Structure 1
């Protein structure tokens, strides 16, 4: 298979056995609870149906590879699924991050090869981002991740070390990650929890997952923009989950609000819309119209920079993802072979973007990810 037709999954999760054991040992959220009808993963308070069924598909590499084979996925860049480590003490989180990163390197490096120069599995490690941790301890783990040849980035939530990602204390972390050339996969976990937002009706997990998670990403990224993180660290590579949430559709409103607010109007080097062209996005949006809009929003970013700003092709900052092993097929006895909607619909969405050439669509499926993660 040529590089032009590669399919690379950048949004695919696992719970390594060490992490699953930790969750099994806990009596409060997050935890894995054993029940008569099977184990349940509970990662948020008040989860509907007592959590989600969890089994070996969450940690077994052969099942990950079988999923990839079934859907024609050549390479996966796997990452631990939320809630990561911020529920642990400093010492526990530090030890667990180090061990899990070593485990993930083994998971990837001992897996099959795709070609003489590429593995089928690469990973994004974890940092011990917990309140009260010393920044040098975080930097040590960045160095550790960078030394592991099959880890090409880190997955990160939105709380940082307790005050969010616009916390000044994280400045050395951004600098170190940027210097090492690692990708940050920014992924939500807490969503929007206010009962004023969700109301009293039982709507299952739809509102928190469909709206709360993307909005969490939107707010966290906007706070980084407002804090000038991307001005001070122009080489920082951040991949946003779920196509950037609501940030693309709200970017012009954001720019207008900044212009008319004396607190922040002179703080940034560029119009807020310019920063969207510095970010990367997975294509987990499930619709061609949505992907086309995100792409066009990224593509216009250059005109809001300086006269020497290089134009960015919107499609070049978008990558394919599946969110495996979450949202499996809803099967009946006749359809045990069903393919996952998260694969089928997201590939269909890529194919359906009218403004993308076939070469651009092919790049979104694979080549963009290889370039972003330094695998090409």
Structure 2
């Protein structure tokens, strides 16, 4: 099977057994609790947010067991998955505990991936991973750099997943500059994923389940964190930093021109950046987890136009939507949002693949790239 024809899932999660065991021992969020359902059967529920609706979400083997991940991939025609620990990562631990657990979980994930089957007709494994950093408040930078070295030395870990709070002050904290430098030098990709969302009071008193926090809160968290990174000049200081945004970049593509206008009119930041804010969006990678072809097409346009906004550029031509596709990668968000019946295929797979297939202005080559070729190139598989 030619590499350009492979389907690669870059947004797919797991809770390694060591990590799940810790969550089962906890009495406060995050935690895994066991309860008895109305039918008398026991079930485990994952609670990762304060005031989480429905007392968390039911979980099963698909959250922790590799065979279930591989079965899911086979059923849906996914050849390779770049798996990552699902939120909340190590945020609830003290620095020493977080460091020790990060090292152990990265070793666990390397074994999880390195002992997975190969993709038929290739030398590639079916599973690769994003490692973890002990990026918690008050952690020493040496601890973070040591863990970057561990991930970089692991054959099957191709980057790291990171939340938006950094070491307490956000990702625009200058104390993280040595970390961005080390990640850039190692050629690792940072998968930026939300967890904290928007304060609960923003959603009002009506019970809307998980809809508002997940559909709006998570993407806005990503939007704000990435904007703060842009405003801080991180992408000017570390132009080779590779950042992959969850959920197609949240609302950042839609708001990028408004952002650029606000910067120009604000004396505090007007001269801080080397380029127009819209330039930096073209340096990002975005997953294609948006569920609609029109949304993917729009995001692709925003990425494609970025070079027009490089300082000194004379390029005023309308960029081809095809150009933006090169920085977009298929994802499923497995094992979240399962189908209601075991015989059904997951909507997150079917709808996101259909969305890629139906983007107007993308060639077949572009679509093959978004489905898998771009990931194979980015992660040097």
Length-normalised TM-score, structure 1: 0.97
Q: Which residue does the alignment assign to 2:335?
A: 325
Match for residue 9 of structure 2? Answer: 9
Query: Are 1:264 and 2:264 counterparts?
Result: no
Indicate the larger mover: 300-309 or 80-89.
Answer: 300-309
How far 1:32 moved relative to its partner?
A: 0.2
CA deviations on 1:145-200 (whole Å, 9 max, x unpaired) are 000000000000000001000000000000000000000000000000140x2111
**Is the aligned partner of 1:255 residue 2:260?**
yes
2:18 matched to 1:18?
Answer: yes
CA contact under 8 A between 2:163 and 2:192: conserved in structure 1? yes
Secondary structure of residue in 1 paired with 2:244: strand
2:172 paired residue among 166, 176, 179? 166
Q: What is the RMSD of the two structures over their aligned residues, measured on CA atoms?
A: 1.2
CA contact (8 A) 1:193 1:208 kept: no
Tell me, yes or no, if the aligned pair for 2:274 and 2:311 is still in contact at 8 Å. no
Q: How many residues align?
A: 370
**C-alpha offsets along residues 49-72 of structure 1, whole Å, 9 cap, x if unaligned?**
110011111111111000000000
How far apart are the structure 1 equivalents of 2:373 and 2:313?
27
Residues in 2 aligned to 1:306 and 1:271: alpha-carbon distance in whole angstroms: 7
SS at match of 2:326: helix
SS class of match (2:282): helix
Match of 2:187 in 1: 181
Q: Quick one: structure 1 residues 309 and 156, their matched pair in 2 at CA, closer, same or farther if it must change by over 3 Å?
A: farther
Distance in 2 between residues matched to 1:278 and 1:47, nearest whole Å: 35
Deviations 1:189-232 (A, max 9, x none): 0000140x211111111000000000000000000000000000
Distance 2:91 2:4 in 1: 39
Which residue does 1:213 correspond to in 2?
218
TM-fit CA distance, 1:129: 0.6
Q: CA deviation at 1:113?
A: 0.7
Distance across 2 between alignment mates of 1:106 and 1:347 = 29
Query: Any conservation in 1 of the 2:247–2:289 contact (CA below 8 Å)?
Result: yes
2:56 aligned to which of 42, 51, 57: 51
Is the CA contact 1:79–1:125 (under 8 Å) kept in the aligned structure 2? Answer: yes
Q: In the alignment, what sits opposite 2:278?
A: 273
- Residue 325 (structure 2) pairs with residue 315 (structure 1): yes
> 1:2 deviation in Å?
1.8
What secondary structure is seen at the aligned counterpart in 1 of 2:49? Answer: coil
Partner of 1:120: 126
Q: Of residues 63, 69, 92 in structure 2, which corresponds to 1:64?
A: 69
Aligned 8 A contact 1:302 1:309 in 2? no
Q: Which runs of 5+ in 1 are unaligned?
A: none
